[in-house]
Amino acid sequence: MTRFEPRFVKYAYYPGCSAESTARDMHQSTLAVAAALGIEMIEPKGWTCCGATAGHQTDRVLAAALPAANLAKIKDMGLDCVVNCAACYNRMKVANHEIATELGIRSDVSDAIGRDYDGSVKVRHFIEVLLEDVGLEKISSAIKQPLKGLKVACYYGCLLVRPPKVVNFDDPENPKSLDKLVKAIGGESIEWPYKVECCGGGLSLSRTDVVVNLTDSILGMAKSSGADCIAVSCPMCQVNLDLRQQDIKKETGRDYQIPVVYITQLLGLGLGISSKKLGFNKLMVPASKVLEKVEVSSNG
């Protein structure tokens, strides 16, 4: 397999709490794709929870201190911080912003974590590394199994793109990052109007009724737009859109059966990595139609 030498070969990879629980498939596929593209991910020793999503609803200093405790460790490593969880990404970017712009917050955070941290560690989403350091041209040249014929609805949710002046990830109303990757893998990125609609996020357990209504709208729009699957890069979005399809069917009779996969899983398929290694067996709604189309493409 082709190996690459990105601008930064090594990154400090913060997996986040969901990596070994609800988002094991995201974690597996991220590491598999990174290895295939020659990207070295070094997990910080002794990392702790970043506070998403409860921390920032409880206390402003706590919300900044929890990510800062990890970012201070990463600063000692001398590397950029890379995350693939949109919630972790958001909380770390917000913490950096507040610490760097407000002396009072910086002082309180320093007291809380037992050392000074200035908000200087560069926090990057794995998608940014793929687009900016590896590049679409190199990714396209490494594809072994193009996703030819696969229609993908790229779903960004809230946390990747908002607040735009802080995260600075993409256009907050019409982002294109995931769409560019889908096209580089050989799939068809469909145009649809619900790219950044809220799925309910952390309300999944406390207000299931709200989440069912929100995800019903998103899934319905993806279905009517002709999507074979939805691509995400947020564990909360994935769980809500995947798991709640059962509840939607019970309450409305609508049976969408739309696989909700991580963009790293699709990229991994394109790179020729096995579906098991990418965690496809962990989805609630089977991704059989995705795997069948890729298999047809690779054999055709």
CA 185/CA 142 separation, integer angstroms: 9
H or E element that contains 58:
helix 55-58
**Tokens found for residue 172:** 């907050």
Domain range enclosing 87 = 10-126
**pLDDT in the model for residue 298:** 58
8 A C-beta contact, residue 32 and residue 268: yes
Q: Cα–Cα distances in Å, from 273 out to 7, 280, 286? A: 24, 11, 18
Instruction: Kindly state whether residues 122 and 148 are assigned to the same domain.
Output: no
CA 272/CA 167 separation, integer angstroms: 32
pLDDT in tens, 54-104: 666 779 999 999 999 999 999 999 999 999 999 999 999 999 999 999 999
The CATH number that applies at residue 255 is 3.40.50.11810
**pLDDT in the model for residue 295:** 76
Q: Is residue 97 in some structural domain? A: yes
The CATH number that applies at residue 38 is 1.20.1050.140
8 A C-beta contact, residue 280 and residue 261: yes
Instruction: Kindly state whether residues 198 and 287 are assigned to the same domain.
Output: yes
Instruction: Kindly state whether residues 202 and 247 are assigned to the same domain.
Output: yes
Of 72, 97, 126, the domain-final residue:
126
Count structural domains, the chain. 2
Instruction: Indicate the DSSP class of residue 130.
Output: I
pLDDT over 80 at 16, yes or no = yes
Instruction: Kindly state whether residues 290 and 148 are assigned to the same domain.
Output: yes
Q: Is residue 133 in some structural domain? A: no
Q: Is residue 60 in some structural domain? A: yes
8 A C-beta contact, residue 174 and residue 255: no
- From 178, 91, 127, 129, select the one nearest 10 (Cα to Cα): 129
Residue 103, phi-psi category: left (phi > 0), alpha (psi -120 to 50), beta (remainder): alpha
pLDDT over 90 at 233, yes or no = yes
pLDDT in tens, 188-218: 999 999 999 999 987 777 788 999 999 999 9
pLDDT in tens, 140-158: 999 999 999 999 999 999 9
**Tokens found for residue 93:** 């970017």
